[in-house]
């Protein structure tokens, strides 16, 4: 009984070696194709042109060993990209899905007007597809993004704002599209925004042109 079982095991062992050799030889003859297609979604044709060219200029190799870090560097350097995901589609296609940044405002830096995105990056003005408020002054982009987050949590909408004025004291003023001016507190920005909103929606103050909310719990009005 033991001898018969040993013979069976030996037969299986030789079959494994033979089939393994055949498979190895077959694999050696297979040439894995390099990545041929890179598909990008989330950007229009004009916006994705340069991004696609830069990616295709890389030595991508095949889909099993391509250098994802190099592709990520190129995508992250693109100011239009907020978030992205890369999917492999066998045998030789990469599918890159992009979430485009949302443009918040225009700003002039060193004589050049750029767009500020929610990703904190500056983009060429040529990508502008809607009316945006203009930033006057020289805020750090991170300071501006922080201020926008405060506005978004308030009762105001960015769509109501015509211009934003930043002062060296790190305080902001807003000019609304109805040309009313809001002077906001540096230390109590959220509170001053909410107080200004209440006044703007009170019909008794329709003729007010300047709302000064720089002092906590105190509003100064100017016609």
For the cut 80, the answer to whether the pLDDT of residue 173 exceeds it is: yes
Label residue 31 by pLDDT band (50, 70, 90): low
Rounded to whole angstroms, how far apart are CA atoms 73 and 59?
14
For the cut 90, the answer to whether the pLDDT of residue 164 exceeds it is: yes
Where would I find the beta strands (DSSP E) of 47-185?
A: 81-89, 93-100, 103-109, 112-117, 122-124, 134-136, 161-166, 172-176, 181-183
- State whether 139 and 200 are in the same domain: yes
Range of the domain at 69: 37-100
| Residues facing 115 on adjacent strands | 106, 123
The separation between the first and the last C-alpha atoms of the chain, rounded to the nearest angstrom, is 109
- State whether 110 and 150 are in the same domain: yes
Three-class secondary structure of residue 116 per DSSP: strand
pLDDT score recorded for residue 32: 65
- State whether 118 and 55 are in the same domain: no
The alpha carbon of residue 3 and the mean position of all alpha carbons in its chain are separated, in whole angstroms, by 70
Indicate the residue among 77, 100, 123 that finishes a domain: 100
For the cut 70, the answer to whether the pLDDT of residue 17 exceeds it is: no
Inside any domain, residue 10: no
Inside any domain, residue 57: yes
Q: Could you read off the pLDDT of 135-144 as tens digits, one per residue?
A: 999 999 999 9
Inside any domain, residue 17: no
For the residues 33-45, what does the mean pLDDT come to? 89
Where residue 114 sits, what CATH number does that domain have? 3.40.50.11690
For the residues 71-76, what does the mean pLDDT come to? 93
State both tokens at 171. 């305080």
- State whether 207 and 218 are in the same domain: yes
Backbone angles phi, psi at 61, to 5 degrees: 70, -160
pLDDT score recorded for residue 18: 44
31, with CB counted inside 10 A (0-12, 13-18, 19+), is exposed
Indicate the residue among 82, 100, 118 that finishes a domain: 100
Q: Which residue has the tokens 């987050």?
A: 149
State both tokens at 205. 């103050």
Inside any domain, residue 23: no
- State whether 124 and 210 are in the same domain: yes
Indicate the residue among 56, 81, 100 that finishes a domain: 100
Number of domains in the chain: 2
In this structure, are residues 132 and 105 in contact, taking their beta carbons and an 8 Å threshold?
yes
Q: What is the DSSP secondary structure assignment for residue 187, as one 8-state letter?
A: S
Cα–Cα nearest to 184, from 208, 150, 153 = 150
């Amino acid at each position: 009984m033991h001898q018969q079982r040993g013979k069976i095991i030996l037969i299986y062992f030789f079959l494994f070696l033979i089939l393994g050799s055949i498979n190895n030889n077959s694999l050696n003859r297979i040439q894995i194709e390099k990545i041929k297609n890179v598909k990008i979604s989330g950007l229009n044709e004009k916006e994705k042109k340069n991004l696609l060219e830069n990616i295709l200029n890389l030595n991508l190799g095949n889909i099993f060993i391509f250098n994802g870090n190099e592709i990520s560097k190129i995508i992250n350097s693109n100011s239009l990209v907020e978030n992205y995901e890369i999917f492999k589609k066998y045998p030789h296609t990469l599918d890159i899905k992009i979430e485009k940044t949302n443009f918040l405002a225009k700003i002039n830096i060193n004589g050049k007007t750029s767009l500020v995105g929610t990703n904190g990056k500056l983009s060429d003005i040529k990508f502008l597809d809607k009316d945006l408020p203009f930033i006057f002054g020289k805020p750090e982009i991170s300071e501006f993004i922080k201020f926008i987050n405060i506005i978004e949590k308030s009762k105001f909408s960015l769509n109501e704002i015509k211009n934003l004025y930043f002062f060296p004291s790190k305080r902001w003023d807003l000019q609304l599209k109805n040309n009313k001016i809001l002077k906001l507190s540096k230390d109590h920005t959220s509170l001053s925004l909410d107080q200004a909103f209440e006044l703007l929606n009170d019909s008794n103050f329709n003729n007010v042109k300047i709302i000064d909310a720089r002092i906590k719990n105190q509003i100064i009005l100017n016609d």
